[in-house]
Amino acid sequence: MANPVAQAGREARQRHGWWRSNRFLILRRSSQLLILLMFLSGPLWGTWILRGNYSASLLLETIPLTDPLMMLESLLAGHWPAWLVWVGAAVVLVYGLIGNRVFCGWVCPLNPVADLAAWLRRKLGLRQSASLPRSLRYGILIAVLVGSVVSGTLLWEWVNPVALMGRGLIHGTGEGALGWLKGLVAAFGAGIWLIVALFLFDLLVVEHGWCGHLCPVGALYGVIGSQGVVQISAERRENCTRCMDCLHVCPEPQILREPLLLQKGTPRVANETCIACGRCIDVCAENVFEIKTKFHYSGAKK
């Protein structure tokens, strides 16, 4: 029998304790905070660990990191990137190949905003959503790339909320609490209303609306990591009690239908839309899910 949406994860907390039922959530928040602090280490403490922003940065003044969508836009707009940009894109491509949309779940600064909206939806019982096809994000990705060709500009970067959120957090520093708050307001500028609009869209209009339906950055990472090595697997799916807690919290619940509910084929959640957030592992009282590599042979019942 399905559990109430607002109580998703309660059985896991009662059975396994608070840490084990929240470990991947805490690890993801730690990862996101650590990366932000690496950006802030220069302006705050004078030691640059990451210089730049979420679109293009330099790790330890040596290793470049480049948003692959920004580089594609640059190429299509007729601007040949410098060699450092190519190297940075190659580095990002490697970790994209390792773990599907790991960037979306473990790095993206907008992810906590989307998660907060989803959490509020569950607590407030706001389950009625407008309907949008999840394939829309791929249409937007194509439109962005075609638009860059036509306009000769990096079209998406004018409105990219992921880059906007990162720039606001990185450059919004100041002395003292009041100075820090003023710095944030100045760094975000009018762009803060775009972040607020996306939060309200997720909360009131479409569940996981931005990340799950519209974001072209996530769409491209999904394409890159479609054959990612690290994958979630419903390894002990025969233990599933249909409590639905994993589907309540998963940003892409449709990908659990075949391997878990229908129990067809491989138990691997081998879908390019999985962001490998691990929340399904956290909230499952029956320990159905595990993290495996794609080379792992599963003996799960079919």
Question: What ranges in the chain are assigned the alpha helix state H?
Answer: 10-16, 23-45, 68-76, 83-98, 102, 111-124, 136-151, 161-171, 176-188, 192-200, 209, 216-224, 245-249, 279-283
Tell me the C-alpha distance between 227 and 97, whole Å: 7
Q: Please give the pLDDT value at position 300.
A: 56
For the entire predicted model, the pTM comes to 0.86
Ordered mean pLDDT values, 10 residues apiece, the chain (302 residues):
84 92 95 92 86 86 87 88 84 76 88 93 82 89 92 86 83 69 75 90 91 90 80 88 91 88 80 86 92 71 53
Check residue 155 and report its DSSP letter.
G
How many CA within 13 A on the CB side of residue 275? Answer: 26
CA contacts within 13 A on the Cβ side of 153: 6
Write 237-241 long-range contacts (CB < 8 A, 24+): 237/263, 237/267, 237/288, 237/300, 237/301, 238/263, 238/300, 238/301, 239/286, 239/287, 239/288, 240/286, 240/288, 241/285, 241/286
Q: Which residue's structure tokens are 């975000």?
A: 188
The pLDDT of residue 31:
94
> What secondary structure letter does DSSP report for 2?
P
The label of the residue with tokens 């000769």 reads 152
Distance of CA 96 to the CA centre of its chain: 12
Task: Enumerate residues 6+ apart whose C-beta is below 8 A from 123.
Answer: 6
Residue from 101, 99, 72, 53 nearest 212 by CA: 101
Q: Please enumerate in sequence order all residues whose Cβ is within 8 A of that of 51, keeping only pairs 6 or more positions apart, or say none.
A: 39, 42, 57, 58, 61
Q: Do 80 and 86 meet the contact criterion of CB atoms below 8 Å apart?
A: no
Determine the Cα–Cα distance for residues 188 and 171; give it in Å rounded to an integer.
9
Contacts of 154 (CB under 8 A, 6+ apart): 70, 73, 74, 77, 148
Dihedral sign of CA atoms 154, 159, 162, 167 in order: positive
Q: What is the pLDDT of residue 115?
A: 94
Cα 39 from chain centre = 19
Q: Check residue 258 and give its pLDDT.
A: 85
